[in-house]
């Protein structure tokens, strides 16, 4: 990017500009927390209302077939596949990211009984590490979790490692790991790899099959804009689908769920990783977000997120310590800075209409969702951040309280 990027010129040339109007944009707010909870796609309000009033209200239980509710997990999963370099029959929408991690981790470990170790990285998203602890505990025996950071990670890939679990884009720093290289390295050591795409999907170009990925999970409510608590997704490469078995062997993953048999027989394909009844209202909202992301295209979204990030960093300059990579090619959809008063700065910005967020211990994050945001508003927000820091406007007791959820 040139030293003096002009937001107005970038907006005028933005191929994704028309998507802004597809989202609710409450007045007086610049929303830079789409990496935490994506904004509302306007179509979702009407579509959910129709499913409630017409499909549920009038079709009642018949809706499972007449409105293909039963097909929603595979249908929406098939659409997400188009954003992450997967085939439609490799992706399923189900449960939460945490639950999907558990299912895939246990299944992968059970498929590698001779290898005791699941390897991951300290500082990755907490639920990932917690679920790994729980998975290892439930597997019992010699199984153990090994956490290695940075340069210690790859040397730890030995014949003992059954599975490597990593977040592709880091939730705090926004740094993007090299999926192709790490996957190849782990597979050369005989391990499987599970990628958490929660902070990547919809904002970073992901090519699972191009990287020969084994397993992945991801979140529906961040850059896919699926709504609060939207169901998550999971990916199982075709070559693994018939050898992995879900430890949460619920009836929706049964080969014949409506035969009401006593014994469990896993469904063929990725469908075996379903567990219980899918949340149709939440899936309806998620599908609206996913359709917008598909229409925009993963490459164009990733390119805009990078340029938005470059613009933001350029305007902040050296006013704040950088927590995210400066290089857009190594950065996900948010920018992050460190400051001892990061929490108060974020509160001060929220009071001025710019919603970002804070992460322990001293990091402020600004999510740059490519579809709902313009370059001009992102530039204004960055300028406001610099002004708040420079004038110490955050240095006020009003901004020092701690909310429960931020
Ligand atoms: C947001 C996020 C999750 C969310 O997990 P839930 O079970 O949906 O609450 C998991 N992992 C990562 C890396 C995330 O960023």
What's the CA-to-centroid distance between 221 and ligand 1, angstroms?
9
Contact status, residue 100 vs residue 92, Cβ threshold 8 Å: no
Q: Which of 57, 54, 88 is nearest to 73 (CA)?
A: 88
The model's confidence at residue 404, banded by pLDDT at 50, 70 and 90, is low
Query: What mean pLDDT is reported for the chain?
Result: 96
Q: Is 102 labeled as catalytic in the residue annotation? A: no
Q: Would you give the end-to-end CA distance of the chain in angstroms? A: 32
- 4 has a pLDDT exceeding 90: no
What does the alpha-carbon distance between residue 153 and residue 344 come to, in Å, rounded to a whole number? 35
The mean pLDDT value for 117-139 works out to 97
The segment(s) of the chain belonging to CATH 3.90.1150.10 are 7-31+298-400
pLDDT at position 99: 98
CA distance 53 to 59: 9
What is the model's pLDDT at position 150? 87
Q: What percent of the chain has pLDDT over 70?
A: 98
For ligand 1, atom 4, the nearest C-alpha belongs to 97
Tell me what the mean pLDDT of segment 13-34 comes to.
97
Mutate to test the pocket of ligand 1, among 126, 167, 194, 198 (most ligand atoms within 8 A of CB): 198
Residues of the chain with CATH 3.40.640.10: 46-295
For residue 405, pLDDT over 70 is answered with no
pLDDT in tens, 272-318: 999 999 999 999 999 999 999 999 999 999 999 999 999 999 999 99
| The pLDDT of residue 356 is above 70 | yes
Does residue 2 register a pLDDT over 90?
A: no
Please report the pLDDT score of residue 400 as a whole number.
85
Please say if the pLDDT value at position 128 is more than 90: yes
Catalytic residue among 23, 102, 125, 171: 125
The model's confidence at residue 3, banded by pLDDT at 50, 70 and 90, is: low
Give the model's pLDDT for residue 401: 73
Q: Phi and psi at residue 120, in whole multiples of 5°?
A: -150, -170
Distance, in Å, from the CA atom of 383 to the CA atom of 238, rounded to the nearest integer, reads 48
Burial (CB count within 10 angstroms: exposed 0-12, middle 13-18, buried 19+), residue 342: buried
Cβ neighbors of 341 (< 8 A, separation 6 or more) are 394, 395
Phi then psi for residue 170, to 5 deg, are -75, 135
- Phi/psi of residue 178, each to 5°? -85, 95
pLDDT of amino acid 406: 53
pLDDT(90) > 70: yes
The C-alpha atoms of residue 151 and residue 202 are separated, in whole angstroms, by: 28
CATH code of the domain occupying 46-295: 3.40.640.10
Residue 260 is a catalytic residue = no
Say what the pTM is: 0.97
Query: How large is the average pLDDT for residues 10-31?
Result: 97
Model confidence at 175: pLDDT above 60: yes
The model's confidence at residue 403, banded by pLDDT at 50, 70 and 90, is low
Mean pLDDT over residues 20-29, rounded? 96
145 CA to middle of ligand 1, Å?
19
Residue 196 alpha carbon, nearest atom of ligand 1: 13
Give the rounded percent of residues in the chain with a pLDDT score beyond 90: 96
Centre of ligand 1 to C-alpha 167, Å, is 10
Give the pLDDT band of residue 70 (cuts 50, 70, 90).
Answer: very high
Cα–Cα distance for residue pair 313/337, rounded to 1 Å: 10
Q: State the pLDDT at residue 118.
A: 98
Q: Which CATH architecture has domain 7-31+298-400?
A: Alpha-Beta Complex (3.90)
Q: How far apart are CA 16 and CA 369, in angstroms?
A: 11
Q: Are 369 and 315 spatial neighbours (Cβ–Cβ below 8 Å)?
A: no
**Pick the residue with more confidence: 404 or 12?**
12
- Please give the order of strands across the beta sheet that includes 334-338: 321-322, 334-338, 363-367, 357-359
Tell me the backbone φ, ψ of residue 330, rounded to 5 degrees: -110, 10
Instruction: Please say if 103 is a catalytic residue.
Output: no
């Amino acid at each position: 990017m040139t030293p003096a990027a002009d937001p107005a010129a970038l907006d005028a040339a933005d191929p994704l500009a028309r998507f802004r109007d597809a989202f609710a944009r409450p007045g007086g707010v610049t929303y830079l927390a789409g990496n935490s909870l994506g904004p509302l796609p306007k179509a979702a309000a009407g579509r959910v209302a129709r499913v409630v009033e017409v499909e549920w209200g009038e079709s009642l239980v018949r809706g499972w077939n007449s409105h293909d509710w039963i097909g929603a997990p595979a249908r929406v999963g098939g659409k997400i596949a188009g954003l992450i370099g997967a085939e439609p029959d490799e992706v399923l929408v189900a449960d939460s990211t945490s639950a999907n991690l558990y299912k895939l981790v246990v299944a992968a470990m059970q498929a590698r009984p001779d290898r005791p170790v699941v390897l991951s990285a300290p500082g990755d998203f907490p639920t990932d590490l917690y679920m790994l602890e729980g998975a290892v505990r439930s597997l019992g025996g010699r199984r153990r979790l090994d956490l290695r950071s940075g340069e210690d990670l790859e040397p730890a890939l030995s014949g003992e490692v059954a599975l490597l679990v990593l977040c592709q884009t880091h939730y705090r720093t926004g740094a993007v790991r090299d999926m192709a290289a790490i996957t190849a390295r782990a597979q050369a050591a005989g391990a499987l790899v599970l990628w958490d795409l929660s902070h990547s999907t919809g904002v970073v170009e992901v090519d699972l099959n191009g990287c020969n990925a084994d397993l992945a999970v991801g979140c529906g409510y961040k850059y896919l804009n699926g709504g609060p608590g939207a169901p998550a997704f999971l990916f199982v490469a075709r070559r693994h689908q018939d050898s992995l078995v879900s430890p949460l062997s619920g009836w929706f993953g049964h080969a014949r769920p409506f035969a009401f048999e006593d014994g469990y027989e896993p469904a063929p394909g990725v469908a075996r990783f379903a567990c219980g009844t899918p949340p149709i209202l939440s899936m309806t909202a998620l599908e609206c977000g996913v359709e917008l992301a598909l229409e925009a295209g993963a490459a164009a979204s990733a390119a805009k997120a990078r340029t938005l990030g470059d613009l933001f960093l350029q305007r902040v300059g050296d006013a704040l310590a950088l927590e995210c990579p400066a290089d857009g090619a190594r950065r996900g959809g948010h920018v992050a800075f460190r400051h001892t008063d990061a929490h108060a700065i974020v509160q001060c910005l929220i009071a001025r209409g710019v919603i970002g967020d804070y992460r322990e211990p001293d990091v402020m994050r600004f999510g740059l969702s490519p579809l709902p945001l313009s370059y001009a508003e992102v530039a204004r927000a960055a300028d406001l951040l610099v002004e708040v820091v420079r004038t110490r406007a955050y240095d006020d007791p009003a901004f020092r309280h701690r909310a429960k959820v931020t």
